[in-house]
Amino acid sequence: MKFVDEALITVEAGNGGGGCLSFRREKYIPKGGPDGGDGGHGGSVYLVADENLNTLIDYRFQPRYRAENGRPGAGRNMTGAGGSDLYLKVPVGTTVYNDETNTLLGEVIGHGDELLLAAGGRGGLGNTRFKSSTNRAPRKTTPGTPGDALKLRLELRLLADVGLVGLPNAGKSTLIHKVSAARPKVADYPFTTLVPQLGVVSLAPHRNFVITDVPGLIEGASSGAGLGTRFLKHLTRTRILLHLVDVAPLDGRDPVEVVETISDELEQFSPSLAARERWLVLNKLDLVDPDHRDALVHRLTEAFNWPHPVFQISGVTGEGCDALAKALMERLEALAAERQEDPEVEAREREWLDQMALEAHERVASLRELRRLARQGVDASEDDDGDDDHEMEVIVVRD
């Protein structure tokens, strides 16, 4: 299945039917009076979240949607039929923006959630509505009102509890492969992960959480380099970030410098996302000489001065992975209990999520505008960021 997390669509609600001008005409009933019925209301367009979907690809190939118009009224006080509403199914976690004003219209984050996109027009009034003691034969009617018409941008943000960040080849795919049922591509070259990967980590019945892996970040990702900005927005719904660091990089790069680089990119992309609870995970310890491992870990821990938990693992051998998963589960359960016990905590969490989503949207929108301006004077092939994601895949595996 091809993975598309953005789509531009145009939605048009149905127009209301016009009111009817009619007078009763029956044998033996002279001057029967007005009997024109009202027009039917136009159909509306709704967005519906469906947990069985995980891509917006259908909306790339069919970008225009229109609900039915209301039927006009008829004689004998018959109201016109209303237009059928149109329901557009999208993955859970889809956010909708007005593409012309760049304003947020809403989001659907639970299965079955509905969001009104475009309201149908009201039906017009028939001449029966205007009869009175002084106007017994009204010839006045009103037309139906037009339905809303909007150009919208759909943005999908995957719903996950834990997100992985790090440089390409930091071992993120290997870790998600080890702790969940997901089977992402794992290889010995950078950018083997081209789209987000989701996996469910199950520790016991009714004790599980969702973890997501996004393509690796490189220096300059917040300015559009690599694949970072296209998928960093998927981390804005996570509660905990895992910052994976290769402690034995083949290029000899200092892990401390790597951590600072990724932290800077997160800060530039979204300060709220950078301030999220982020655990440091020292990966690939199997490549370090056991006699020097403790000294290396101690040096790195001292250099980082990390305010959150620090874990030592090997994604290949599985060393430390179970302990990491259990610690994540316990922390997520504690955070959930805090939100349930204190409404203010839940409100602050909601505000934080909204702020991260807003910052990510504004950052991506600004980069998109810069690319558009650049293409006015530069050939698109010279400034191509690979924004056509029709040829990518997403693998979502759950136990």
pLDDT at res. 205: 82
Q: Among 121, 137, 156, identify where a domain stops.
A: 156
pLDDT at res. 379: 46
In a domain, 119, yes or no: yes
Smallest Cα–Cα separation from 239: which of 172, 333, 104? 333
pLDDT at res. 381: 40
In a domain, 58, yes or no: yes
Annotate 243-291 with DSSP letters as a single string: EEEESS-TT---HHHHHHHHHHHHHHH-HHHHTS-EEEEEE-GGGS-HH
CA–CA separation, 50 and 88 (whole Å): 10
* 212 and 312 assigned to the same domain: yes
CATH number at residue 142: 2.70.210.12
* 24 and 151 assigned to the same domain: yes
In a domain, 365, yes or no: yes
In a domain, 1, yes or no: no
Residues 310-343: tens digit of each pLDDT: 899 998 899 999 999 999 999 999 999 998 889 8
Per the structure, the count of domains in the chain is 2
Q: Do 154 and 6 contact (CB within 8 A), yes or no? A: yes
* 113 and 183 assigned to the same domain: no
* 338 and 234 assigned to the same domain: yes
* 129 and 175 assigned to the same domain: no
pLDDT at res. 14: 97
H/E segment holding residue 53: none
pLDDT at res. 397: 43
pLDDT at res. 125: 97
Q: Among 127, 156, 185, identify where a domain stops.
A: 156
Q: Do 168 and 191 contact (CB within 8 A), yes or no? A: yes
In a domain, 174, yes or no: yes
Q: Among 97, 130, 156, identify where a domain stops.
A: 156
pLDDT at res. 192: 55
Place of tokens 């690319």: 371
* 257 and 362 assigned to the same domain: yes
Phi and psi at 26, nearest 5°, equal: -135, 150
Tokens of 30: 């002279």
* 206 and 321 assigned to the same domain: yes
CA–CA separation, 99 and 109 (whole Å): 20
CATH number at residue 303: 3.40.50.300
CA–CA separation, 60 and 119 (whole Å): 23
- Degrees (nearest 5) of the Cα angle 319, 330, 273? 90
pLDDT at res. 35: 93
pLDDT at res. 230: 66
Q: Cβ–Cβ contacts within 10 Å for residue 1, how many?
A: 12
* 351 and 226 assigned to the same domain: yes
* 258 and 118 assigned to the same domain: no
By residue range, what is the domain housing residue 42?
6-156
pLDDT at res. 189: 47
* 279 and 201 assigned to the same domain: yes
Those residues of the chain that have pLDDT short of 50 are: 1, 189, 379-399
* 123 and 223 assigned to the same domain: no
Residues 183-220: tens digit of each pLDDT: 665 655 455 555 677 888 988 888 899 998 887 666 66
Tokens of 261: 């680089």
* 243 and 389 assigned to the same domain: yes
Phi and psi at 112, nearest 5°, equal: 90, -5
pLDDT at res. 374: 76
Phi and psi at 149, nearest 5°, equal: -135, 125
For residue 323, the cross-strand partners are none
